[in-house]
Chains A and B, each alone.
Chain A
Amino acid sequence: MPPIIKSCATILSIILVSLCVISNAGAEAKQNYTSTFERYELPDVVLINQDGVKVPLQNIFSPGTTVLVDFVYTTCTTICPVLSANFTNFQRKITPDSGRVRLVSISIDPEYDTPKAMKAYLKRYYAKPGWDFLTGSRQDIDKVLKALKAFTQNKMNHFPLILVKSPAENRWIRIYGLIGTAELMKEYEKARQ
């Protein structure tokens, strides 16, 4: 059991205080992300998961399962911790009614992100079964990043991105920007429709 916010009172108090301030400041809610429908062709590559097991990429996106993909690295400081904390919270929120879902984090620093480093990272974020972290050769990772329009020449220039693959067809929702869990749940439901 992760030592996440210990009581509802704690989380409520933070949110309430924030809401009061937002209300007082008269700030207008501003959408900080974009969400678009896309189609991608996955390359035929074999990656390696946090247990050192080889995983053909195509096998991850089996029909009937909604797959959420993000692009992170274990020593990232700003974007990845927020993306990963969101995955943690997302796993906590989903229920049996949420359908079959799988989370996949793909390393954008494959030289440093060994299975051991990825396993420790998942543990730090209290990942439950159904959330895998994948690394591989630089060549294969670049192929994946390019196919999913997530490639940057340099990992230091990466951007916040979550892709949600619909369970039924080659239809993806591309979420560009940092979002909260409620927004992620909304996009997830949209992908399942």
Chain B
Amino acid sequence: MFFALALIVLFCTTHGIAASGTPEPALIAGVTSGEALRLGEQMYREGVLPSGEQMQSIVQGDIPVVGGNFTCTNCHQRSGFGSAEGLVRTTPIDGTRLFLPLSKFKGIPVAKSRRSAMIQNDEELYRPAYTDETLARVMRTGEDSKGRQISDTMPKYLLDGRDMEILIYYLKNLSSVQEPGVTDETLHLATVITDEVPKEDREAMLGPLQFYISNWRLSRQMERSARSGAYLQEGTAQALRAVSLTVWDLKGPAESWQTQLEEYYRKGPVFALVGGITTGEWAPIHRFCEKHKIPSVFPITDFPVISDTDWYTLYLSKGLYQEGETAARFLHGRDELSREVSVVQVFRKDRAGLALSKYFQETWQGLGHKAAQDHALAGNETLTADFWKRLAFEHKNAVLVLWLTAKDFPDLANFPGQKNQTGFIFASSSLLGKRLYTLPDKERKSVYITYPYSLPREARVYRENIAASLKNNKVPITNLDIELKMYSLFSMLSGPLGRMRSYAYRDYFIELLEATPDLSVVPVTYPRLSFGSGQRYASKGCYIVQLTEGPNPELVKKSEWVIH
């Protein structure tokens, strides 16, 4: 009985309702605790005051800055755990460390730039615990809790008493409660697989992932730090916690996935999703992650959610959307074509055809061209010789964009009206698969193919090495392309998993992923994988390629990796 009552009180407290059922009394600067957190977050992340006005400050002594152009989040990050960039080291200001003395082993970010007298050393960053008073002072004047003037790069804010009180309340609560899916012993992860994925693709995603997780360990240097007591002194020995992986199998139609995900999460909360695979759209899982603020790293999908603002899912690339966009940009840059050239897209009304054609169309029109004409084919429509004859006749001088699979792609050797075309036919390597290499010799110069990966010749050695490594470790190779994408995941994941140490917070995990150095040295699947704050698609490009002549053709680049 007592337990039940305690639960009710806890629920009411956390949901801003007094036990009597009346609204929670005002706690902070005339607003409820929940409202203060919301307003504080708005100030911290967006630079907007509770009044709706923009925050105002001065940096570097005389540069006025408003609102969102330089917020607390910029340097201290959403987690409040700080950062290091160039000559600037930004100390942690999360709810725990801000009100404790900052000293050795307290997670001060390590300088990234080359050694310079301008970079503050650790001792210069140590300070006594802040109080509400000294915190307000440092934000207004730059004088820290030790009475020293801190770096001019920390803005000096013009904040009245109430706004300051709200911001300080927010900081006291920032990253101060343990996240779901984390215990002192284990960091729980999950991977999502939908039931239509072919067995060999499922194995190709899951096999390497399970191997990686079961063998995951800190780098030797980190382990030495942990064993020598540095982490113990800091109280972050949980760096040595184990990592577990659960498989969340989703069955049935996509509309039912949300319920299944909620049930999995209720039964066993996880810190993050890693990998995962679907042949369909990732959107339902993406939305689930946004709702619960769960990071999801590198799911394998051709259909990611394209968003400039969503936060929690980090994709390998924009999938098929990237190919559509690249074809339009490449075509736009062809000076030999008239700006008024007509363009015809032929595609099936299925998920792939719609994705490719949509992004081609949007980009093409966005570059100032008249809309391409769309020939959308119903699922069962057969592409007869008559169809191609009619198309050739009706669009004699058009660029043809054929977003078609191997089965639908026309035989170009006998393509009617081919000689009357502009000399430009576009196709997708993702849809054509191996059919790509069967294009007739004499037509290869007019076919431009979107290819969103490192070229086979550039990646061959790396692919062979990784395949050998998988074999040595007795991980079955059922689809090497997928297994190589998993390799990219592991390359991205290892640093952040180790560097989180005790500070296993989801925002911090994402910040560490965002700050991971560009992966370009081993272009196993993509020439370069990179992030930055808010960037959510690691691979940004796609080549336009053509086939060389002869019986064993190779792909040659006809464009840069990124076409502006």
Q: Which residues in A have some Cβ–Cβ distance to B below 8 Å?
A: 2-6, 10-11, 13-15, 17-18, 20-22, 25, 27, 32-33, 48, 52, 73, 75-79, 81-82, 84-86, 89, 109-112, 114-115, 124-125, 135-139, 153-160, 177-182
Contact = CB atoms under 8 A, between A and B. Distances in A.
A21 B61 contact: no
A79 to B, nearest CB: 5
21 contacts: A2-B66, A4-B66, A5-B66, A14-B158, A15-B62, A17-B140, A18-B58, A52-B367, A73-B532, A76-B532, A81-B65, A85-B63, A109-B530, A112-B532, A112-B535, A115-B564, A124-B69, A135-B564, A138-B561, A154-B517, A177-B87
B70 A79 contact: no
Contacts of B156: 14, 17-18
Interface string B505-543: 000000000011110000000001010111100001100
Interface residues of B, number: 59
Contacts of B112: 156-157
A178 B158 contact: no
Contact of B153 (A4, A78, A139): A78
B54 A14 contact: no
Contacts of B54: 3
Given A3-B67, A18-B141, 8 more contacts: A15-B58, A32-B152, A48-B564, A52-B564, A75-B534, A139-B560, A178-B152, A181-B60
B562 interface: yes
B65 A85 contact: yes
B69 A21 contact: no
B88 A79 contact: yes
Nearest to B74: A77
A79 B530 CA distance: 19
A86 B63 contact: yes
Contacts of A139: 560
A79 B151 CA distance: 13
B502 interface: no
A32 B86 CA distance: 13
Interface of B: 54, 56-70, 73-75, 77, 83, 85-88, 90, 112-114, 118, 140-143, 147-149, 152-153, 156-158, 367, 515-518, 528, 530, 532-535, 540-541, 560-562, 564
A6 B104 CA distance: 42
A143 B208 CA distance: 39
Contact of B85 (A17, A77, A112, A137): A77
B177 to A, nearest CB: 25
Contact of A138 (B88, B148, B562): B562
Contacts of A17: 140-141, 156
A42 B535 CA distance: 31
Contacts of B69: 81, 84-85, 124-125
Given A14-B57, A75-B534, A112-B540, A25 B143 contact: yes
A159 B113 CA distance: 7
B562 A111 contact: yes
Nearest to B143: A21
Contact of B147 (A13, A25, A138, A180): A25
A147 to B, nearest CB: 19
B83 A77 contact: yes
Contacts of B518: 154-156
A89 B203 CA distance: 57
4 interchain residue pairs of minimum CB distance: A75-B532, A111-B540, A180-B60, A78-B85
Contact of A136 (B70, B87, B143, B564): B564
B562 A137 contact: yes
Contacts of B533: 75-77
A178 B88 contact: yes
Nearest to B89: A78
A18 B158 CA distance: 11
Contacts of A180: 60-63, 152
A181 B62 contact: yes
A89 B70 CA distance: 14
Given A75-B534, A85-B70, A10 B63 contact: no
Contacts of B68: 124
Contacts of B157: 14
A178 B64 contact: no
B149 A27 contact: yes
A180 B67 CA distance: 19
A25 B83 contact: no
A79 B85 contact: yes
B314 to A, nearest CB: 13
A166 B433 CA distance: 55
B285 to A, nearest CB: 24
B507 to A, nearest CB: 13
Contacts of B158: 10, 13-14
B149 A21 contact: yes
B189 to A, nearest CB: 25
Contacts of A124: 68-69
B142 A81 contact: no
Contacts of B58: 11, 14-15, 18
